[in-house]
Amino acid sequence: MNTSPSIPATSSNSPAAGPSETIGTSETSGTSDNTLLRAHAVARDAADPLADCRSRFSIPEDVIYLDGNSLGPLPNGVAERVARAVTEEWGTGLIRSWNNAGWVDLPAGAGAKIARLIGAEAGNVMVTDSTSVNLFKVVSAALALRPDRQVILTETRNFPTDNYIAEGVIKQCGDRHRLVHVDDAADLTDALDENVAVLMLTHVSYRTGAMHDMKALTKAAHDVGALVIWDLAHSAGALPVDLAGCDADFAVGCGYKYLNGGPGAPSFVYVAPQHLGGFRQPLTGWFAHKDPFAFAPHYEPATDITQFLCGTSPVLSLVALDAALDVWADVDMDALRSKSSALCDYFIHLVESRCDGHGLTLITPRDAAVRGSQVSFTHETGGYAMISALIADGVIGDFRAPDILRFGFTPLYTRFVDVWDAVDRLAIILAERRWDTPAFHARKTVT
C-alpha cells in the first residue's frame, strides 16, 4: 500500500459534514493531492449525472451504506405498495386479486423489468423461487441437454451454494456426473474439453469482485460443445450485462442485492430461446404446466419460460420486488457502470493513501474492466472486528470468512462523499485500534 501522512486522532462522524471542514489526514497535512480532500468528493457528487437517484431510496441519515451487494436498501414507495397489497388486494379483493390486481402476472412482469438490465430477450426471464432453487432447475436442464457428458466445470471459490446445488444434482442423477473445480480462473479455458457438459460460473466473484469475461468464456465452452450457466447475483443491477449478445444459455440471479427487492426477495431465471421447450426442468409444479387451471391429471410442460415456474408464487415478496424495480426505468446502464468504476477506484485510492501500515491487503482487481461493483481487502486477524467497529460507527460493510472486509458500491445511491467519510472513519478506527476489543471480535450468526 502507498505511504500515507499521519492520521489525526479526530473523526468526522457526520456524512453531512461540510466541504470546508478540516477533517482527516490530507486537510491537516498540507498534501497537494486534492483527491484526499473531502471537498473533492463533494465536487464529484455535484457533477454526478445519477445524483438524483439517491432520493429514490430510504436510507437512514446516520448510515453510510456499503452493503448493497448483500441487501439493497428500501426504495421509496415499496412499503406503501406492499401495504396496499395486504390491506386492499388481499384484505378486500381476496382471491379475486389474482386476476383483478394482476398477481398471476407478477413473475413475468418483474422478469420483463429485469430483462432490460441483463441484456435478455423479451419474454425469456421469469421471477420465481430462490437463486438456489432456480440453479437446481437449470443445472438439471443443462445436463439433460448434454446426456453423453459427465462434467460440471466450476471454480473452487465459486459461491458455495452454487457448488452445493451442483453436488445435489449429481446425487439426484445417480452419481453419473462429477463436479470439477478449477482453483485459478485463468485455467478455466484449458479445462474445457469434450467431457464438459456444463460450465457453471458466478459472473462477479462474491469474494474479490473479480469479473469473468462472459462473452469469451461462453464462446470457449460452446466451442467444445458445452453449455454455460451464469450466476448474476453480483452483477445484475451493478453493471451492464448482455446475455443475448454473449449467447449465454442459462442465467440465475437474486432480487435482494443490487435490485433492492427486500430480504429474501425472489430470484430470476433466464433461458435462451433455443433451449425452451426442448427438455423438462425437474420441479414440475402446476404453474409450470402448459395449462395450470385445466387441472389435468398428468404433467404437460409449458414450452416457454413459464416452464421454469413451479408452485404458487409468493405474492407479497413479488409485489415488493416488482415495485422496487421501477427505480430502474430511466437508468442509463453505461452511466451506472462509469460511476461504479469511479467509486471503486476512489475507495481503493483513499484506503491505500490513508490506511497504510495496518495490514490491509487489496484482493480486488485494480482494473475496472475486470471488476464488478465491490472492493475487498483482507486482514490476517482483525477483519471481522474491523467491520464490526465500522458498523458501530455508522459505516455498514460486511465480512466474508476467513479474512475479507467487503464493501459494495451501488451507484444509484452511493455518493463520493460517502466513500470519503467511510475511509475517514476506517482510518481513525485503525489508527486508534478501536476495533481490537472483545465486543468487536465476538462473532454474530450473520456476517
Alpha-carbon distance of 372 to 439, in angstroms, equals 32
The confidence score (pLDDT) of residue 278 equals 76
Q: Which of 65, 250, 256, 347 is catalytic?
A: 256
- 256 catalytic residue (yes or no): yes
The confidence score (pLDDT) of residue 280 equals 79
Q: What is the pLDDT of residues 343-398, one digit of tens each?
A: 999 999 999 999 999 999 999 999 999 999 999 999 999 999 999 999 999 999 99
The confidence score (pLDDT) of residue 30 equals 43
Phi, psi of 427 (to 5 degrees): -60, -40
Asked if residue 3 belongs to a domain, the reply is no
Q: What is the pLDDT of residues 126-136, one digit of tens each?
A: 999 999 999 99
Alpha-carbon distance of 57 to 408, in angstroms, equals 16
Same domain? For 236 and 269 the reply is: yes
Asked if residue 90 belongs to a domain, the reply is no
Coil vs helix vs strand at 390: helix
| Domain stops at, among 276, 293, 328 | 328
Length of the chain as a residue count: 447
Contact assessment for residue 327 and residue 53, using Cβ atoms and an 8 Å cutoff: yes
Asked if residue 10 belongs to a domain, the reply is no
The H or E element spanning position 223 is helix 214-223
- 231 catalytic residue (yes or no): yes
Q: Which of 57, 65, 136, 159 is catalytic?
A: 159
Tell me the HSE value of 137 on the side-chain side, using a 13 A CA sphere. Answer: 31
Same domain? For 312 and 368 the reply is: no
Q: What is the pLDDT of residues 53-73, one digit of tens each?
A: 999 999 999 999 999 999 999
The confidence score (pLDDT) of residue 2 equals 38
Contact assessment for residue 256 and residue 236, using Cβ atoms and an 8 Å cutoff: no
Q: Which three cell numbers stand for residue 246?
A: 454473449
The confidence score (pLDDT) of residue 261 equals 98
| Distances in whole angstroms, Cα of residue 289 to Cα of each of 95, 98, 123, 299, 325 | 21, 18, 17, 6, 27
The H or E element spanning position 270 is strand 268-271
- 215 catalytic residue (yes or no): no
| Nearest CA-CA partner of 424 in 1, 27, 78, 20 | 27
| Distances in whole angstroms, Cα of residue 334 to Cα of each of 176, 239, 339, 411, 447 | 44, 8, 9, 11, 32
Domain assignment of residue 135, given as a range: 102-328
Contact assessment for residue 324 and residue 75, using Cβ atoms and an 8 Å cutoff: yes
Alpha-carbon distance of 27 to 20, in angstroms, equals 10
Same domain? For 308 and 345 the reply is: no
Q: How many domains does the chain have?
A: 2
Return the bridge partners of 362, or none.
377
Q: Which of 406, 415, 425, 434 is catalytic?
A: 406
| Domain stops at, among 274, 300, 328 | 328
| Domain stops at, among 304, 328, 352 | 328
Q: Which of 129, 231, 398, 421 is catalytic?
A: 231
Asked if residue 86 belongs to a domain, the reply is no
* CATH label of the domain that carries residue 386: 3.90.1150.10
Same domain? For 256 and 390 the reply is: no
* CATH label of the domain that carries residue 142: 3.40.640.10
Contact assessment for residue 234 and residue 67, using Cβ atoms and an 8 Å cutoff: no
Q: Which three cell numbers stand for residue 195?
A: 467431457
Asked if residue 183 belongs to a domain, the reply is yes
The confidence score (pLDDT) of residue 277 equals 84
Same domain? For 166 and 138 the reply is: yes
The confidence score (pLDDT) of residue 32 equals 62
- Per-position pLDDT tens, the chain of length 447: 433 333 333 333 333 333 333 333 443 334 468 999 999 999 999 999 999 999 999 999 999 999 999 999 999 999 999 999 999 999 999 999 999 999 999 999 999 999 999 999 989 999 999 999 999 999 999 999 999 999 999 999 999 999 999 999 999 988 899 999 999 999 999 999 999 999 999 999 999 999 999 999 999 999 999 999 999 999 999 999 999 999 999 999 999 999 999 999 999 999 999 999 877 799 999 999 999 999 999 999 999 999 999 999 999 999 999 999 999 999 999 999 999 999 999 999 999 999 999 999 999 999 999 999 999 999 999 999 999 999 999 999 999 999 999 999 999 999 999 999 999 999 999 999 999 999 999 999 998
- 257 catalytic residue (yes or no): yes
- 206 catalytic residue (yes or no): no
Same domain? For 391 and 303 the reply is: no
Q: Which of 149, 257, 354, 434 is catalytic?
A: 257
